[in-house]
Amino acid sequence: MFEPRMRRGWKMALSGGLQCCRRVLAWVPVLIIVLVVLWSYYAYVFELCLVTVLSPAEKVIYLIFYHAIFVFFTWTYWKSIFTLPQQPNQKFHLSYADKERYENEERPEVQKQMLVDMAKKLPVYTRTGSGAVRFCDRCHLIKPDRCHHCSVCAMCVLKMDHHCPWVNNCIGFSNYKFFLQFLAYSVLYCLYIATTVFSYFIKYWRGELPSVRSKFHVLFLLFVACMFFVSLVVLFGYHCWLVSRNKTTLEAFCTPVFTSGPEKNGFNLGFIKNIQQVFGDKKKFWLIPVGSSPGDGHSFPMRCMNESQNPLLANQEPWEDDDDNRDYPEGSSSLAVETET
């Protein structure tokens, strides 16, 4: 009698222990980045500027520009990590009565029709590949447009782009702007270090400076900055292309399906308006990591629908023409792991 209970208890304890270990290990990539950044700060400020650089004016200029970039770099990284993914609000969840009725119904075609009837009350215009209403059977909700379920975060995320292990967070509507800013300031951070360190790298290489402890830090600093710069500029360029087309990473790999059928440019409003969909229409906030993305993440303006069908466009000017409908090669990034299901 007690043996089955003990087995269940052991299984629950083991499952809980594995989940705890998984949550702890998920912070390892973030810890690696933090340690590299801390070392780069020490190597640049102390070993380069305070020890290697001899000119007082040059020291001051290097340190002022470095810390200005460093503040925005760390600020955007912090926001990317600790800005929680936004989930669909309650009106997209099935009520208790609807959930019971849906789960008790054994006929798939009736279940499908039930979801269609429920979706009529919601601003939902995208469908599955088969044309059915997009429903999450784990969160028990009808997915808003561009919303997907993240298997790592175990929840549905509004305008999900991808789950990034380097920030241990799901990138979506609430923090995509911060993630993009983080990439931009990371590229700038690496570029600034590489350009200011290069002349002293040459001096150490030619033996014009004494071989002291600072030599190792300066040489390795240039190598690390160049290595990260190459990988980050590729990732940043890819996301700039996504923003210019108003696509998420998931939508670049899998064309969204609307009620009228598949449309790869369904959310493409034109270059300027596409940028405003991420950064907002106030340019003074574009470089600062504060929330300025328009809307609530549940509904988005669409190219394939006119004003009468889409209330979000009622007070907006007509879309800009997009003459460039060429296909671009789509690739994956080594710094981002796709986990949407």
Active site residue ranges: 164
Diameter of the chain measured on Cα atoms = 82
Residues 6+ apart with CB under 8 A from 149: 136, 138, 139, 143, 155, 156, 157, 340, 341
Cα separation, 154 vs 163, whole angstroms:
11
Per-residue CA distances from 152 to 57, 170, 193, 207, 244 (Å): 50, 8, 34, 51, 28
C-beta atoms surrounding 233 within 10 Å: 15
Q: Could you tell me the two tokens for 151?
A: 């298997």
Using CB atoms within 10 Å of the CB of residue 191, give its burial: 0 to 12 exposed, 13 to 18 middle, 19+ buried.
middle
Q: Which residues are CB-contacts of 268 (< 8 A; sequence separation ≥ 6)?
A: 245, 246, 247, 274, 303, 322
SS3 41: helix
Per 3-state DSSP, the chain is made up of helix, strand and coil in percentages (nearest 5) of 55, 10, 40
Secondary structure of 73-106 in HEC code, one letter for each residue: HHHHHHHHHHCCCCCCCHHHECCHHHHHHHHHCC
